[in-house]
């Protein structure tokens, strides 16, 4: 291989890390002392980084599973609602006296169930994934809203019930390097998913199902089981994300996951995941999530909050365009 | 009518056994029975002494029969090794573990084609290499018979040579290869024995050594040497309306020909000869180098421009390329000439209905109503609807790619009549077909194609030498330089 | 061995109406049925005024549904319409606000109302052009593109309104269009426009080349190309058409409420998609009618207003919509499969 093709291949594999470094550098250079959220001066100080990583726990948890699902050629637009519903369930269980571990465990089971429903609709009933997960997006959101009584916006302390003091330690209290358990769980989940993608049959079959489903089936791969498993994994990570968000905010907000599916799509696109399936890496999506969160939070200090939607929308379009152009070039 | 009638023969184990026959002779039906796609109504099949009655492709594979398809069944995003072991891996609670399978597969690959790196991503492989990959997979998963249907259609000469080496290595591993091809040179070079089909019947099975030469084989394939049913048309032909010079692209090789007004020309050749490519180039659907002049001007670069200048195409695959299956007969027909059924953008329903009824009658489309959804029509009737679409365009040159494939005999004749009456009125008709009877039955001139080149032009008339034609389209013409 | 070829059976069938009309008829029957059923459950439901309200209260979603339906039939999504509604309303207000306002949110372009609205419409169609560029030219999946442009449109509206709304310093005639009533009745202009749009749409889809092109492209893109159709141009027109509708809806809403609110039209794109699906439009393309979408809107309106009538909390609408779409898709698939056996 020539130097040029070496360079091209290096860029293709590692561009995302370069983008991350670039974004961090850019934000460091900008003047951030206008808001209390950040300590004066440098973006790269400990308090800022901890803040950003704490807030990023949900998307960091979700990104890898979402990537694997898209690698297999399928999508889940209901992750935001699943996350909200999990947050509400978790908060409800805790505020009514259940201790951490059982509440945690039951919420995870709820996430699995939500994933099974998605898998059933898509694989057994053969409903197009976009429509099927739009249906469940609405369904899960509705259930979350109903679980919170009228007149109250979320499950939180008040009206005779009090959220225990330990509730927000999962999402807020630093246990290692100043970062909370929610973050480290996200890291653990990502590591597990990297291993799944690279070292297990599920990872290999996901790529096969997305790359050439006919070939996969002819080879004896049970693509239905593969896809349902992936939806279940997404459901579990959505539940984890909901627990993280709920703990961070000390309440169970049925709208907390709104828009998460868009963020997830943006993040995996940044990480080079193709919509048609077959391509995509868990680690790259993790980095993509870091980039988006750094941008989002860093942006908050530079421009007013109401610029956010525009910037995210624009980034989504840019990421989709460059993703598509790159993969078309590679194919030719 | 039977597609395959009372066929019996044996294939020796570890041999390269070739199947030859014209289109529709029964080869693919036989293959479908071997691979479990169709079930025989009578008779038996045995593989290595064991009865073989597959009801599905899965069962056929379990019985040891593997097939190499035209569409490649490999996953580009995985590596060679991952593809070879797909579905057969040993695992430890879901984790991939190195097993004997990996070693076996790598060894088999090294024997069959050492130049392919097992850790390479399949997307970096060429089509020929992917083909070899599929063969390796079949061999290493224990297939005792591998069926190959026209495998060299898309390969270069070097790649063909490499494929042959691979096939011979399979032979030494005691794998039987059933090789279907119309390229007789290949059969003589590669085959140990050959089975000839004609009209659904088994004609002969002989070792290659017992066949004296090409002519001998061709005679067995076609059973008659002379075609006598052509009835010359009484109409005088017009001026030249289309001239193609040095037409070339990835498939075609310096093709030149012309077509006169009111003439019916045929392009005859077997699979991969370049017929569809020529049709699509004329129609502006494919790129090419060289020149195609229609009515004095270079043809358009898109189907839209081609239709506007007076050319219409009946595509090869009617369901996927020609028909709007979710729409009715009436809604399908006007698409190539919407201006005729509309005024200022508003559809004139009466005109549309009249046109649809006219074509239903003229073409004999068997339907109780023009409001029937085309996806429910039989193959022959669907083809007639596509034909009606093109007729409605009122073009001066109509291209028909495999116009009667999968069409019953009655509809075939009706379609031929339509083509003749079109030509009698001065429209030029070009037929691209793999059926010799069809081409010789209606065409005034026939262009013979092989391997992307136009080998010969034949004036149709009494007593056409079929053996010679067969020879040409199966590669019998020597080329001075390759 | 021998094998026989089966004789074809299709000549023996006798079809009375097309699949599309069958599904549309099915939707109409379901709409009527659901209404009658709701009348049994909910007190005071079976009233003329209530029936009228079902249509008039939903004029915006039905109008958006027209554009979304055409695009679905051609094989594409348009999820940007809700964002365009917000953007065009905000632009109209911003352009019409007088220049010399007290603060940033009270000052605008100072243009006369009709010009402000015209420019707002242009802005809406620019988003439509953006959709066309990404979907048709760059060939990126329409679901991603239109989600992105929806955010861009709404994002621009949010920037212009600093995250809330603009509602001061407007010329007096700004509220005219949105509140105009017809000949002394209580029917507002937007409703009349919506009904006209639906009628025009039905005409377009059945009786014009434009409509027929949409069906051809959606039914078989490959065959369309080989039949000489320029699908790029047509799809571009469709996206501009849908954006224009959304633009007008946004302007009328801004006029009705005399404000440009960046949250307007939130989630309307999904409602438009829902009523199209309820109305029998196939996701695959090439199938479905605007009439079905209209009655799909009626079904949704009956379900949601019945829920309100039964004093169910408004949060129920999400679950009801999910169930309605699920039932619609599964029964339509089942009904068609049985009919065509």
Q: Are C306 and C37 in contact (CB under 8 A)?
A: no
| DSSP character string of C315-335 | THHHHHHHHHHHHHHHHHHHH
pLDDT confidence of residue C12:
37
Its ipTM equals 0.85
pLDDT confidence of residue A32:
52
Q: Which residues contact A255 (CB under 8 A, 6 or more apart)?
A: A84
Q: Is the pLDDT of residue B127 over 90?
A: no
pTM: 0.88
Domain range annotation of chain B = 16-223, 227-473
Task: Say yes or no for a CB contact (<8 Å) between B95 and A200.
Answer: yes
Q: Which residues pair with A161 in a beta bridge?
A: A158
Q: Which residues pair with B195 in a beta bridge?
A: B19, B205
Q: Which of B72, B86, B96 sits opposite A208 (nearest CB)?
A: B86
Which tokens is A71 given? 């690698």
* Interstrand relation of B50-51 and B255-260 (parallel, antiparallel or unpaired): unpaired
Domains of chain A: 51-331 (1.10.3470)
N- to C-terminal Cα separation, chain B: 44
pLDDT confidence of residue C60:
94
pLDDT tens per residue, range B40-50: 888 888 877 78
Secondary structure class of C200 (helix, strand, coil): helix
Element (H, E) at B458: strand B453-459
Residues in chain C: 341
Q: Which of A201, A211, A216 sits opposite B96 (nearest CB)?
A: A201
Task: Say yes or no for a CB contact (<8 Å) between C151 and A307.
Answer: no
To the nearest whole Å, the CA of A78 is away from the closest chain C CA by 12
pLDDT confidence of residue C16:
57
d(CA B391, CA A42): 74
Residues B206/B208/B212/B215 CA torsion (nearest 10 deg): 80
Task: Say yes or no for a CB contact (<8 Å) between C323 and A139.
Answer: yes
Cβ–Cβ contact A136 with C under 8 A: yes
Cβ–Cβ contact A125 with C under 8 A: yes
A85, A292, A320: which to substitute to probe chain C, counting the most C Cβ within 10 Å? A320
B305, B324, B364, B371: which to substitute to probe chain C, counting the most C Cβ within 10 Å? B324
- Which residue has better confidence, B433 or C187? B433
pLDDT confidence of residue C104:
77
Q: Rounded to whole angstroms, what are the CA distances from B345 to B335, B339, C74, C120, C204?
A: 13, 8, 18, 29, 10
Q: Is the pLDDT of residue B295 over 80?
A: yes
Cβ–Cβ contact B75 with C under 8 A: no
Tokens 């927000």, located at residue: A168
C contact chains, 3+ CB pairs < 8 A = A, B
- DSSP class of residue B302? S
Which tokens is C83 given? 């964002």
To the nearest whole Å, the CA of B467 is away from the closest chain A CA by 41
Q: Are B473 and B182 in contact (CB under 8 A)?
A: yes
What is the overall mean pLDDT for chain B? 85
To the nearest whole Å, the CA of B138 is away from the closest chain C CA by 27
Q: Which of C277, C283, C316 sits opposite A142 (nearest CB)?
A: C316
Secondary structure class of C341 (helix, strand, coil): coil
Topology match between the domains B16-223 and B227-473: yes
Q: What are phi and psi of A96, to 5 degrees?
A: -95, 15
In this prediction, the residues of chain A whose per-residue pLDDT falls under 70 are: 1-2, 5, 8-9, 11-13, 29-44, 159, 327-332
Which tokens is A16 given? 């995302």
Q: Are B75 and B85 in contact (CB under 8 A)?
A: no
Q: Which residues of chain A lie closer than 8 angstroms to C329, CB-CB? A: 127, 131
Tokens 């860029």, located at residue: A11
B contact chains, 3+ CB pairs < 8 A = A, C
Q: Which residues of chain B lie closer than 8 angstroms to A214, CB-CB? A: 71, 73
Q: Are A313 and C150 in contact (CB under 8 A)?
A: yes
pLDDT confidence of residue B432:
94
Closest chain B residue to C17 measured between Cα atoms?
B371
Q: Which residues contact A46 (CB under 8 A, 6 or more apart)?
A: A178
pLDDT tens per residue, range B212-241: 888 788 888 877 666 666 677 777 778 888
CATH topology of domain B16-223: Rossmann fold (3.40.50)
d(CA C162, CA A303): 11
Task: Say yes or no for a CB contact (<8 Å) between A304 and C144.
Answer: no
d(CA A115, CA A85): 12
Task: Say yes or no for a CB contact (<8 Å) between B75 and A221.
Answer: no
Element (H, E) at B259: strand B255-260
Tokens 């599916």, located at residue: A261
Task: Say yes or no for a CB contact (<8 Å) between B373 and C15.
Answer: yes
Q: What is the CATH number of domain B227-473?
A: 3.40.50.300
Q: Are B371 and B401 in contact (CB under 8 A)?
A: no
To the nearest whole Å, the CA of C15 is away from the closest chain B CA by 7
Q: Which residues of chain A lie closer than 8 angstroms to B89, CB-CB? A: 201, 204
* Interstrand relation of B255-260 and B240-248 (parallel, antiparallel or unpaired): antiparallel
Secondary structure class of B45 (helix, strand, coil): coil
To the nearest whole Å, the CA of A325 is away from the closest chain C CA by 8
In this prediction, the residues of chain C whose per-residue pLDDT falls under 50 are: 1-14
Residues in chain A: 332
Of the candidates B460, A189, A104, which has an alpha carbon nearest to the alpha carbon of residue B469?
A: B460
């Amino acid at each position: 291989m020539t130097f040029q093709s070496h360079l091209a291949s290096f860029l293709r594999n590692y561009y995302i890390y370069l983008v991350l470094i670039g974004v961090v550098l850019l934000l460091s250079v900008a003047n951030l002392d206008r808001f209390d959220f950040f300590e004066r001066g440098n973006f790269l100080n400990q308090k800022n980084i901890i803040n950003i990583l704490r807030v990023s726990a949900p998307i960091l948890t979700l990104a890898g599973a979402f990537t694997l699902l898209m690698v297999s050629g399928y999508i889940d637009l209901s992750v935001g609602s699943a996350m909200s519903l999990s947050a509400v369930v978790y908060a409800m269980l805790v505020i009514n006296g259940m201790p951490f571990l059982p509440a945690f465990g039951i919420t995870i089971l709820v996430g699995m169930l939500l994933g099974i429903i998605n898998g059933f609709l898509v694989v057994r009933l053969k409903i197009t994934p976009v429509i099927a997960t739009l249906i469940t997006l609405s369904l899960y959101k509705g259930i979350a809203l109903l679980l919170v009584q009228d007149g109250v916006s979320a499950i939180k302390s008040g009206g005779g019930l009090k959220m225990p003091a330990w509730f927000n330690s999962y999402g807020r209290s630093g246990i290692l390097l100043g970062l909370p358990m929610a973050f480290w769980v996200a890291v653990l989940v990502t590591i597990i998913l990297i291993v799944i993608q690279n070292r297990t049959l599920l990872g290999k079959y996901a790529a096969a199902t997305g790359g050439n489903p006919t070939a996969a089936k002819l080879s004896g791969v049970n693509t239905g089981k593969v896809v349902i498993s992936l939806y279940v994994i997404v459901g579990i990570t959505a539940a984890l994300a909901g627990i993280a968000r709920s703990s961070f905010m000390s309440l169970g907000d049925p709208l907390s996951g709104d828009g998460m599916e868009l963020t997830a799509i943006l993040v995996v696109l940044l990480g080079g995941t193709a919509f048609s399936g077959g391509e995509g890496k868990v680690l790259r999506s993790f980095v993509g999530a870091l980039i988006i969160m750094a941008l989002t939070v860093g942006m908050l200090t530079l421009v007013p909050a109401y610029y956010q939607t525009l910037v995210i929308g624009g980034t989504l379009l840019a990421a989709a365009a460059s993703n598509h152009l790159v993969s078309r070039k590679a194919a030719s | 009518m039977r597609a395959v009638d009372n066929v019996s023969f044996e294939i020796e184990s570890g041999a390269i056994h070739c199947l030859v026959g014209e289109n529709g002779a029964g080869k693919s039906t036989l293959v479908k029975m071997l691979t479990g796609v169709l079930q025989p109504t009578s008779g038996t099949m045995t593989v290595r002494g064991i009865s073989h009655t597959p009801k599905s492709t899965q069962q056929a594979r379990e019985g040891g029969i593997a097939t190499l398809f035209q569409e490649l069944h490999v996953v580009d995003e995985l590596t060679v090794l991952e593809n070879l072991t797909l579905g057969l891996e040993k695992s430890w609670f879901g984790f991939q573990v190195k097993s004997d399978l990996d070693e076996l597969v790598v060894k088999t690959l090294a024997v069959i084609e050492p130049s392919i790196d097992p850790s390479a991503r399949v997307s970096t492989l060429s089509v020929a290499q992917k083909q070899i990959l599929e063969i390796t997979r079949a061999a290493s998963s224990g297939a005792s018979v591998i069926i190959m249907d026209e495998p060299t259609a898309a390969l270069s000469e070097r790649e063909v040579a490499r494929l042959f080496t691979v096939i011979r290595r399979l032979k030494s591993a005691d794998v039987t290869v059933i090789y279907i091809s119309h390229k007789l040179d290949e059969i003589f070079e590669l085959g140990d024995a050959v089975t000839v089909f004609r009209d659904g019947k088994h004609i002969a099975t002989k070792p290659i050594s017992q066949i004296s030469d090409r002519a001998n084989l061709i005679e067995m394939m076609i059973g008659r040497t002379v075609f006598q049913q052509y009835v010359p048309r009484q109409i005088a032909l017009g001026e030249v309306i289309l001239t193609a010079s040095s037409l070339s692209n990835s498939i075609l090789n310096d093709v030149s020909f012309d077509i006169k007004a009111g003439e019916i020309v045929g392009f005859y050749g077997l699979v991969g000869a370049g017929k569809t490519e020529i049709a699509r180039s004329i129609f502006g659907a494919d790129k090419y180098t060289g020149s195609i002049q229609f009515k004095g001007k270079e043809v358009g670069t898109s189907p839209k421009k081609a239709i506007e200048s007076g050319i219409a195409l009946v595509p090869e695959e009617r369901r996927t390329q020609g028909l709007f299956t979710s729409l009715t007969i009436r809604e399908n027909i006007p698409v190539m000439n919407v201006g005729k059924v509309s005024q200022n953008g508003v559809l004139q329903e009466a005109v549309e209905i009249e046109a649809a009824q006219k074509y239903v009658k003229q073409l004999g489309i068997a339907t109780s109503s023009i409001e029937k959804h085309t996806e429910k029509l039989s193959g022959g009737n669907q083809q007639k609807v596509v034909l009606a679409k093109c007729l409605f365009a009122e073009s001066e040159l109509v291209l028909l790619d495999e116009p009667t494939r999968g069409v019953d005999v009655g509809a075939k004749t009706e379609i031929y009549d339509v083509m003749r009456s079109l030509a009698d009125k001065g429209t030029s008709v070009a037929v691209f077909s793999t059926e010799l009877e069809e081409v010789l039955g209606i065409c005034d001139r026939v262009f013979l194609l092989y391997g992307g080149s136009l080998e010969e032009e034949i004036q149709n008339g009494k007593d056409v030498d079929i053996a010679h034609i067969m020879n040409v389209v199966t590669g019998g013409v020597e080329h001075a330089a390759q | 061995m021998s094998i026989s070829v089966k004789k074809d059976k299709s000549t023996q069938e006798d079809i009375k109406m097309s699949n599309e009309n069958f599904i549309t008829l099915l939707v109409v029957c379901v709409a009527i049925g659901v209404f009658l059923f709701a009348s049994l459950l909910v007190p005071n439901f079976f009233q003329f005024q209530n029936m009228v309200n079902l249509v008039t209260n939903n004029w915006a979603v039905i109008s958006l549904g027209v554009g979304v339906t055409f695009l679905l039939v051609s094989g594409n999504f348009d999820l940007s319409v809700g964002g365009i509604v917000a953007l065009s309303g905000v632009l109209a207000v911003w352009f019409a606000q007088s220049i010399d306002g007290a603060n940033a949110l009270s000052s605008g372009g100072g243009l006369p109302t009709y010009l402000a609205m015209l420019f707002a419409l242009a802005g809406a169609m620019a988003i439509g052009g953006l959709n066309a560029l990404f979907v048709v030219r760059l060939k990126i999946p329409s679901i991603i593109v239109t989600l992105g442009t929806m955010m861009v449109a709404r994002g621009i509206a949010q920037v212009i309104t600093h995250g809330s709304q603009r509602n001061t310093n407007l010329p007096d005639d700004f509220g005219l269009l949105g509140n105009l009533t017809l000949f002394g009745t209580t029917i507002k202009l937007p409703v009349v426009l919506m009904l006209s749009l639906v009628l025009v749409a039905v005409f377009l889809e059945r009786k014009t080349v434009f409509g027929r092109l949409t069906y051809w492209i959606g039914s078989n893109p490959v065959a369309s190309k080989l039949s000489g159709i320029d699908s790029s141009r047509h799809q571009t027109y469709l996206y501009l058409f849908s954006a224009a509708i959304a633009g007008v809806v946004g302007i009328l809403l801004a006029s009705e409420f005399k404000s440009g609110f960046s949250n307007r039209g939130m989630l309307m794109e999904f409602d438009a998609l829902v009523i199209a699906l309820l109305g029998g439009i196939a996701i695959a393309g090439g199938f479905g009618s605007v009439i079905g979408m209209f009655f799909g809107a009626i079904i949704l309106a009956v379900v949601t207003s019945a829920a309100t009538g039964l004093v169910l909390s408004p949060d129920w609408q999400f679950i009801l919509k999910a169930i309605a779409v699920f039932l619609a898709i599964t029964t339509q698939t089942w009904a068609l499969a049985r009919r065509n056996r």
